[in-house]
Chains A and B, each alone.
Chain A
Amino acid sequence: MDLNDDPQQAEFRTQVRAWLDEHKAEAPIVMGEGQIEDEHERIEQWRGWQRKLAEAGLCGVTWPEEYGGQGKGPIEQVIVNQELSRAQVPGALDFIGLGMMGPAIIVHGTDEQKRRYLGPMLHGDEVCCQLFSEPAAGSDLAGVTARAVEQEDGSFKISGQKVWTTNAQFSAFGVLLARTDADVPKHKGLTMFIVPMDAPGITIRGLRQISGEAEFNEVFLDEVHVPADAVLGQVGGGWGTALTVLMFERLSIGTTSIGYSAERFAAGVKSAPGAAEDPEVRQRLGHIGTEMIASRFAGHRLLSDLAGGKLPGPEFGLGKVTVVKSAIDAGDLIADVLGPDALDEHSEWGYMISFLPGLKSAGGTEEILRNTIGERVLGLPPEPRSDKGVPFSELKAREKEEVA
């Protein structure tokens, strides 16, 4: 039972730490107190920071060397994440590109696509966003209705609406899931595209959340014209490409800390006079702390598995359920003991309290996650489904009929 690095990992950690010690003063403040207020200025400085990280070999840690990566494993990625957090500096601006879209292009892209996109993505020159979810297709992602219609010359025209698009407002490209064939069952008629975000017909609109901030966007596509070589993977093979992205998403979430911890919540409770002595407060804090510590050691177990060559399965989604649940309970407890000031937008807790209800559904709702784990991990029978084997167009017609 060893929580320590092996000699190779320890050496890598030393290198990373040494570089960060030397350069951390150059990092911009992109969140919380002292944050660069002007968004454009903030993004440009963050972009510059990503370039420095990339040149130091701290971006694309798991990418193959031929695409500018370091060719290392997930453990090394975690070491970089841990050291970034220890140095209290931000990671790469384009965590979605580096963690999910880049790896998917590496798996499914053509040589030309890899040459074209990976280098600029790694260095922060071109940010990449994820155009998957739609207003009516989230957990049931294969139900997307954005249509890509093939033209006579083999190019495509894409129309539809995407939502929850982080970073869209400053992305150069988006990886987009669209329906190319509505007359086959829904998982089969999908195709993945790489779309330039400045193409005519694209409109981006910020989506304000509970906190008042707009971290996500809505993206509207009106007859957006893309060439035939914009297809990532195969026409009709979009679902397979999407599953690759979702696998990298799990890995990315499982190895990144979101900054909540038992000790931080305890400090929040302690700052309220009398709270630390109250038996009921202590019971609530004890349960929250227990779950937060459990999730920390679940993370250690995940790393041990990864080191042993196992990839994260759907059960690692339970770690997210635990953290979100405990953090919601913690926000509630802290607001109870601190009073309304905890809800102030400048308080340490106001943003967290506003952020968490939405996080519960991020990356698929908790309910669907529990279905997936129940079926894939526990082997329970699936919910009866009326969409299996039914052409997508017929499915939609049925829905309309039912509503009417």
Chain B
Amino acid sequence: MDLSLTDEQEFLREAARGALKRVDTVAAAREALEDETKRPDLWKTIVEAGWTGLLTSEAGGGAELGLYDAMLVAQEAGRVLAPVPLVSTLPAATVLDAAGDEASEAVASGETRIAWLPAAPPTDQEPRWTADPKGGILRAELPKATVDGGTATLSGAVHWVPDAAQAEQLLVTADGPDGPVAVLVDASASGVSVEGLWRYDATRPLGHVTLDGAQGRVVAADELALRRAWHVAQGLLAAEAVGTVDALLPVAIAYAKERHTFGRAIGSYQALKHQLVEVLRLLENAKSLLIYAAWAHENAPDELSLATAAARSGAEHALDVATRVQISVHGGIGATWEHDAPLFFRRAQLQRRLLGGAGGATDRVAGELLGGVVPA
């Protein structure tokens, strides 16, 4: 048994940390709340670093690395609140790669900027493929596709799509005549409209995509590839959350050692110490779950849904607790713009509601366990 990082993985992590240092992304996250033009676009950074092709096979033009490698990069992005579009790009790249699609190479190299429209596979309680609703708790239908040869005509909408407005192409999972079908659509095609938007957190650009008779090309991906895209996205969001918590904890600890009340450091009070240890506990649990998710991705396809859902659920919980503890450790100032804590809190609040939400992941964990999946 060996779960330690390889030299290549250590190198990848260091390289990612270095690449993300070039822009002060935390400062940008604050400025962008008031001035939209201050939102950094790190697309060039991720293309230069080769992250768009991390999960794509060598034959498909990529680096053919594992999910854990991509998660290392996602953790680094999470550490500094970097708006790195991994969760939109990599799932799309894996679908194109699995299909041996001609567009794979341009996506893996970053020549084409693509966004994947999140589509959740069925669960034991929800027989349909679904998308996130614009609001409310009922899951939404996928766009409908009519297929004529290699061309599909799409109608419907998908809401809260990460990086939708920045993409040149969209990879849509639609409800086709014989089940889910992947369709590649130009963002500028007739019948496609993308409303770019931000909510609460300036580090995560989103979009509402409406398809009204838009035509696109059918990608020959099987249902398994579409399922895996969802699970990969869950794993990547989990990794971003782990990175964020990992960055928060030392800041809180440093303050708890330095700030004194009633004649002693506040970190010596059990009331605070135990909260910080709770953050450590949840963080270490989430790290263990990332290992499970990445291991299942390569070794146990039947456990991938359980593993990535557990990683997402555990990591979002850790992030929720950590961002709140961050504010309470710092006292009143932690709830003001004088401090960075609110930026992390905003990040947590938004991301736990995207891509099926933290609650959806938790429900999927239950469904898989009730269905008899046994974790390794």
Contact = CB atoms under 8 A, between A and B. Distances in A.
Contact of A304 (B4, B124, B257, B274): B4
Interface string A264-297: 0110011000001101011101110111011111
Interface stretch (B96-104, B108-116, B201-209, B264-272): B264-272
A383 interface: yes
A383 B291 contact: no
Interface residues of A, number: 54
Interface stretch (B16-24, B164-172, B229-237, B360-368): B360-368
A380 B310 contact: no
A301 B294 CA distance: 14
A277 B374 CA distance: 19
Contacts of A352: none
Contact of B310 (A75, A289, A377): A289
Interface string B282-294: 0011111101101
A374 B265 CA distance: 13
A154 B235 CA distance: 65
Given A1-B291, A266-B370, A298 B284 contact: yes
B313 interface: yes
A380 B249 CA distance: 12
A36 interface: no
B159 interface: no
A34 interface: no
Contact of B270 (A269, A277, A291, A371): A371
Given A1-B295, A294-B310, A287 B4 contact: no
A99 B236 CA distance: 41
B298 interface: yes
Contact of B1 (A276, A290, A300, A378): A300
B253 A381 contact: no
Main SS class of interface, A: helix
Contacts, number: 175
Given A380-B253, A381-B257, A1 B3 contact: yes
A380 B268 contact: yes
Contacts of A371: 270, 273-274
Interface residues of B, number: 59
Contacts of B307: 293
Given A263-B375, A285-B366, A300 B2 contact: no
A382 interface: yes
A321 interface: yes
Contact of A298 (B285, B309, B367): B285
A322 B277 CA distance: 12
Nearest to A380: B267
A212 interface: no
Given A374-B277, A380-B257, 16 more contacts: A1-B295, A270-B370, A286-B365, A287-B362, A290-B285, A290-B365, A293-B375, A294-B285, A295-B288, A300-B1, A304-B3, A318-B284, A374-B273, A380-B267, A383-B268, A383-B269
Interface of B: 1-4, 66, 68, 124-125, 249, 253, 256-257, 264-265, 267-270, 273-274, 276-278, 280-281, 284-289, 291-292, 294-295, 298-299, 306-307, 309-310, 313-314, 317, 359, 361-367, 369-370, 372-376
List the 3 shortest-distance A-B pairs measured between CB atoms, nearest first: A286-B362, A294-B285, A266-B369
